[in-house]
Structure 1
Amino acid sequence: MGQSIFSNLGVILLGHFAMSVLMNHREKIPKNILFFCIVVLFSSVIILLFYLPVQFGEFTFDLRLVPLFMLAIFQCWEKTLIILLIVSVWRFLMGGENVFFGVLFGMVLPTLVALVFDIINKGKRNIYQIIILITICWMISDFPIVLFVPNGKEIFQQLFLIKYISVVLPSIIYYALVLHERKRESLRQQLLFLASHDPLTKLLNKNHFIDIVEEKIKNPYYNHFIAMIDIDYFKKFNDKYGHLAGDQILISIASILKKYESDDLIASRYGGEEFIIYLRTLNSDQAIDTFQKLQNEIRNTSFQIESNLDVSITVSIGLAKIKKGEILHETIKVADQNLYEAKEKGRDQLIVVC
């Protein structure tokens, strides 16, 4: 019996390891392929457990409830229901005595209970709730023993401790492993974000911006533009209101730029009070219209720097079209020259070279 239990645990842990590898590479896998792989992986683990029964006298059981429980807790309901349908059909095809009640109470009802709990709580859970929930699911799964098996109460009493430990302990370990993986992944994502974004404005930093844009300008179908944006009289503003107020303005300007971000428009903090924007459009008029709209929004926004103090800010913009065969840095230099001209002409200007 002990060997069978460890075989079940080995399959579950192997499935978890495969799932971790899959999730670590999910950014390289198309979403529909990833969805399919998760369904196949979980279904395979659960089906394999059907063929590794733990023998206790004349009674057998397995640990299929553990991956089903974790599936309901950590995966979306679509995957859960699809996998539940697959393994239920497979179990029906295997046949056996009281197969209907085994599927209903041993898989369907416990999984649905865990799924409903997770939906109601919107993914918020703690270890105590998990222990209570897995206990409830285990009791549901063992209900047919008492109801349909001869001498069911006596068998249930004999199996109670070993089955409870066999189900609850692996579930807690599995839950802890998944939490560890998610925290590690969250930390990795934070580090990646810090490496590619400006810490103050949360916009892309200059280096990452350049890397992305150099790939995008290879598409010959679009017209590609670079805009340099500078906050007017920012030094005077800092001298008058202080650098904390200046930082707040930078953050507020960045939040406006983020509203315009899309696959066609990418914003970055270039340095100091300067921002750089990449835009691709079908024609120059669309580009000019976009930056005029952006400039007007900033011009007409009241920026709060203190509880009872609002200020107005304007920006100067230099816009340049990336010519065929032109190096990106050359276009940035032209946009910067146009920005300088906009400031020379009195600021709050848009100077364009297309």
Structure 2
Amino acid sequence: MLQSILSNLAIILLLHLVVHRIMNYRKSLRNYYFFLLIVLTFSVAVITMFYLPIEFDGYRVDLRMIPLVFLAYFSNWKLTLPVLVISSIWYSFEGGIGTTPGIIFGMIGPTLLTLAVYKKNKYDSCYFDKILLITICWFISDFPIVFIVPNGLDIFQRIFIWRYAALIGAASVWYALVLFEIKREHLKNQLEFVAWHDSLTKLLNRNKFFEVVEVKREKSDVNHYLAMADLDHFKKLNDTYGHVAGDHILIEISDIFRKYECDLVKVGRYGGEEFIIYQGQPSFEQAVLYLEAIQKEIRTTLFCIDQDIATHVTISIGVAKLENDMSLLEAVKQADRNLYMAKENGRDQIKTSADQIKSTLTTVGGE
């Protein structure tokens, strides 16, 4: 009996390792393949447990309920129901005494109950909730023995301690592993965020920004543009109100940039009061119009220094097209030259290369 329990537990642990491996490749997998792999993995695990029964005084049970309940609890019905259907059909083909009750009470009942009590805060709820859920599922699965099987009450009394302990033990081990992976993934994400983002503005740092842009150049079919943006008279602002106020304004401006970010618009902090912007747009004119919208919002925003003092700020922008045969560094240099022209010509405007657009577009406030 103990060997059979350990065999079922080994299947659960192997299932956890395979699922963990699949999740590591989640971002590189298409949704269809991810769905197929999860359904196939859980179905194989549940079906395998059917062939590794645990015998209690001649009565055969297994722990196939645990993968179904965990999948229902941590996932959704789209993944859970296919596994339930595949496992139930396979189990029904095997036939034998107790097949139908085993499917209804040992698989369908606990799984549908778990889907019904699914919580958004499944990771935050207390451990007692998980014990209660497994206990109720165990009761749904095993108590019908009393009415279905001859001498059912006697069998239930003989097996319920071992059966309940096996279910709780397996569920506890697996849940502990799930929590460990969740905490490890959370820590990994935190470390990646710190490594990839500027500590003050929380925008992408320069290195990560360039890495993201290189990926965008390979995957996207649109035209690619880089823009260098610089706050006007930022040194004067720091000298007047202090560096703390300057940092606060940088943070608020970064929040404005972040509002305009999407899959084809990325913003990074280049250094100091300079920002770098990537756009994937159909035309140069549309790229400039997008930048004008950002520039206008910054110009019209009142930045609070303290309770009694507020100020407006403006930015100057230089834009360059990122040609196919051009390196990122070359595009940055070109955008930086255009930024310098915007500064020299009075600030609060957008400058572009003369061979990329016929006329220099200025913001409404600069006209």
Matches within 5 A, 1:156-305: 156-218=156-218, 221-305=221-305
> Counterpart of 1:292 in structure 2: which amino acid?
E
TM-score normalised per structure 2:
0.91
Distance 2:106 2:307 in 1: 59
Distance 2:280 2:103 in 1: 55
Per the alignment, in what secondary structure is the counterpart of residue 9 of structure 2?
A: helix
Deviation at 1:304, TM superposition (A): 3.4
State whether structure 2 residue 8 is matched by structure 1 residue 8.
Answer: yes
Report the counterpart of residue 72 of structure 2 in structure 1: 72
Deviation at 1:217, TM superposition (A): 3.5
> Counterpart of 1:332 in structure 2: which amino acid?
V
- Tell which deviates more after alignment, 162-171 or 310-319: 310-319
Per the alignment, in what secondary structure is the counterpart of residue 320 of structure 1?
A: strand
Report the counterpart of residue 143 of structure 1 in structure 2: 143
Report the counterpart of residue 25 of structure 1 in structure 2: 25
Report the counterpart of residue 62 of structure 1 in structure 2: 62
Instruction: Identify if the C-alpha distance between structure 1 residues 136 and 156 changes in structure 2 by more than 3 Å, giving closer, same or farther.
Output: same
Deviation at 1:122, TM superposition (A): 5.6
Per the alignment, in what secondary structure is the counterpart of residue 247 of structure 2?
A: helix
> Counterpart of 2:48 in structure 1: which amino acid?
L
Deviation at 1:312, TM superposition (A): 1.8
Distance 2:220 2:173 in 1: 53
Distance 1:274 1:198 in 2: 12
Instruction: Tell me, yes or no, if the aligned pair for 2:73 and 2:122 is still in contact at 8 Å.
Output: no
Report the counterpart of residue 83 of structure 1 in structure 2: 83
Report the counterpart of residue 344 of structure 2 in structure 1: 344
> Counterpart of 1:258 in structure 2: which amino acid?
R
Deviation at 1:26, TM superposition (A): 2.1
TM-score normalised per structure 1:
0.94
Distance 1:319 1:119 in 2: 48
> Counterpart of 2:26 in structure 1: which amino acid?
R
1:242-293 Cα offsets, whole Å, 9 max, x none, are 3232222222211211222223221111011110011122222111211111
Distance 1:221 1:146 in 2: 66
Instruction: Identify if the C-alpha distance between structure 1 residues 163 and 218 changes in structure 2 by more than 3 Å, giving closer, same or farther.
Output: closer
Distance 1:114 1:95 in 2: 26
Deviation at 1:323, TM superposition (A): 3.6
Distance 1:306 1:149 in 2: 77
Deviation at 1:120, TM superposition (A): 6.2
Distance 1:205 1:266 in 2: 11
Instruction: Identify if the C-alpha distance between structure 1 residues 121 and 196 changes in structure 2 by more than 3 Å, giving closer, same or farther.
Output: closer
Distance 1:317 1:22 in 2: 44
Report the counterpart of residue 48 of structure 1 in structure 2: 48
> Counterpart of 1:179 in structure 2: which amino acid?
L
Report the counterpart of residue 110 of structure 1 in structure 2: 110
Distance 2:288 2:216 in 1: 19
Deviation at 1:240, TM superposition (A): 2.7
Per the alignment, in what secondary structure is the counterpart of residue 266 of structure 1?
A: strand
Instruction: Tell me, yes or no, if the aligned pair for 1:114 and 1:133 is still in contact at 8 Å.
Output: yes
Instruction: Tell me, yes or no, if the aligned pair for 2:203 and 2:254 is still in contact at 8 Å.
Output: yes
Distance 2:126 2:159 in 1: 28
Report the counterpart of residue 363 of structure 2 in structure 1: none
Per the alignment, in what secondary structure is the counterpart of residue 143 of structure 2?
A: helix
- Tell which deviates more after alignment, 169-178 or 88-97: 88-97
Distance 2:115 2:221 in 1: 47
> Counterpart of 2:247 in structure 1: which amino acid?
D
Distance 1:75 1:343 in 2: 54
> Counterpart of 1:43 in structure 2: which amino acid?
S
Report the counterpart of residue 361 of structure 2 in structure 1: none
Distance 2:246 2:161 in 1: 65
Per the alignment, in what secondary structure is the counterpart of residue 204 of structure 2?
A: coil
Identity of aligned residues (%): 47
Unaligned runs of 5+ in 1: none
Instruction: Identify if the C-alpha distance between structure 1 residues 143 and 120 changes in structure 2 by more than 3 Å, giving closer, same or farther.
Output: farther
> Counterpart of 1:168 in structure 2: which amino acid?
I
Distance 1:305 1:89 in 2: 68
Unaligned runs of 5+ in 2: 357-367
Instruction: Identify if the C-alpha distance between structure 1 residues 322 and 43 changes in structure 2 by more than 3 Å, giving closer, same or farther.
Output: same
